[in-house]
Every structure is written in structure tokens, then in C-alpha cells.
Amino acid sequence: MPAALELISQHRCFGGTQRYYRHDSAEIGLPMRFSVFVPPQAEQGPVPVLFYLAGLTCTEETFMIKAGAQRLAAELGVMLVAPDTSPRGANVAGEDESWDLGTGAGFYLDATAEPWRGHYRMDSYVTQELYGIVTRTLPGDAARVGIFGHSMGGHGALVLALRNPGKFQSVSAFAPIAAPSQCPWGRKAFGAYLGDHPDAWAAYDASLLMRGLHQPFPGGILVDQGTADQFLAEQLYPEVFEAACAAAGQPLTLRRQDGYDHGYYFISTFIEDHIRFHVERLGKPAV
């Protein structure tokens, strides 16, 4: 039974409602927040769901405020769900010492190393607990669920989709950390959360996961990457994921967008393409 939801606030938006919730998380062991846009079509029955995973330093509010996604989601009848990016107030030593580890940097994995393993369980939180809330307590259709995200969240979207193809029927990403085992952000996070265990790292690296698969998403994967992204060369490695998809026979549309950087102006420019990509694969509500 999902924990009781506390409605923090709600706002009428394009005929639907933008909501912010808090609940006591069994997986995290702490209160967690998430946001959800419920389209007007949900009044007639369950609707397709898109989980959006945000990047480093973001919260459950970032996407809903900055991406400009609600208008099209209301038109097409899609629920948007955005969790926070990490536990808050876990009182883990070092969790607030740097912006790319700990608070705001959960990396959408289940930590196995001390002192992180007790609360930093974002994989299970998203794929088990929040997924259950959205598809059982809220009017999300469990048969039509997609996932996408940005940067750290793009990494999370690719990894959680590849680890749970039965739960997520579509996946896309904006500027994902596509080969975290090879970049400074990933190595720092994986070393802390997972310890010195290569197999554990591989289980959360989209490029390495793809190597052992064959066309896990036959409908394709969409990735947008800005060519002026300040993190492209050192942190993101889309070419590694591209090669892994080619080896796995996985259809991939990797669009290198000229002149775009890493921020939400980039995301808001191409958000419509991503929502339509998912809707084509998930289907619209039958209303």
C-alpha cells in the first residue's frame, strides 16, 4: 500500500492541474517530494505517463517550471511526473560538500556502499515506489509509461529503461551522461555510491548495459545533444552510447543540435519533439 500523499500545492494549468506532493518514502526512509502534471483527459480514465528525471542540483520543480511541457501534455493527454533528484536531509557525512555528489546528485541508482546505502536508493524509489503511486493512486496507465531526462537524469532515464523494459515502453534523453564509468561525474558518484566494484558500475552505465542487449527498444531511442554544451567533451560521451547501440542493433536517433548548450533553453526548444516521440509509442488516451 503506497504511503499517504500530502498535497503541497496545486495550480490550474492548460485545463489540467500542476501538483506538488510530499510523502514518507519506504525506499528512501525519508520524506520525498515529486511533481505531477495531470492532464484534463485524466477525468475520463487512466492516461499515458512520462517520467522526467532532472539533472545535478535540480529538484522536483525544475522541469515543471522551466521546460514548458504542460501545454502539449494537456493537448495530447499525457501525465508528466518529476521526482526530486536525491534524498534530502539524510545526514550522511559529505552529502553537502560538493554539488555533484550527495544532495541533488542521487544518480538514480541504489547505493551499496557506506555511508550512502541506507537512504540513497533512487533506482528503487523511481521504478518501484513512485511508479506504484503514479499507476495505482494517481490516474497513470501502467501499460503506457515512458521515461526521459536531462544530463544526470538522461543517464537515469536510459539506465532505468534498459534495466526495466517491461515497465517503460519508451525512452529518450537530453544531453545524457551516456558513459558514466568513463567520465569524472560518473566515476566520482559510482566510486562513492557503489564502491570499487566494476560489475556494479556496469549495471548503471547505459553504454555498458547496451552491449549485452539486442534491440531492447525496437521503436527506437531519441537523444538530443547540443554541440555547444560545455560538458560535452569531458562528461557526456554520446558517441560511446551511439557505438553501443550500433553493436546491439538498437535503433537510435542521436541529433547533434548546432549551437545549443546544456541548459533549459535547449530542453524547452526540443521538448515538443520528445513528448511527441513518446506519445507515438505509448498512444493517446481513449477519450
> Which of these, 15, 120, 122, lies nearest to 60 by C-alpha position?
122
The single residue of 23, 150, 262, 278 carrying the catalytic annotation is 262
Q: Is residue 40 packed enough to be buried (19+ CB in 10 Å), middle (13-18) or exposed (0-12)?
A: middle
Q: Phi and psi at residue 35, in whole multiples of 5°?
A: -115, 150
Residue 229 annotated as catalytic: yes
C-alpha–C-alpha distance, residues 112 and 207, integer Å: 21
172 forms beta bridges with: 148, 222
Number of alpha carbons in the 13 Å side-chain half-sphere of residue 7: 10
The single residue of 25, 35, 86, 151 carrying the catalytic annotation is 151
C-alpha–C-alpha distance, residues 94 and 92, integer Å: 6
The single residue of 25, 170, 229, 274 carrying the catalytic annotation is 229
- For residues 172-206, one letter each, b for 16 or more C-beta atoms within 10 angstroms of the residue's C-beta and e for the rest, the string is bbbbbbbbbbebebbebbbebbbeeeeebbebbbb
Rg over CA atoms, the chain: 18
> Which of these, 148, 176, 155, 94, lies nearest to 275 by C-alpha position?
148
Give the three-class secondary structure for 159: helix
Residue 199 annotated as catalytic: no
Q: Annotated active-site positions, please?
A: 151, 229, 262
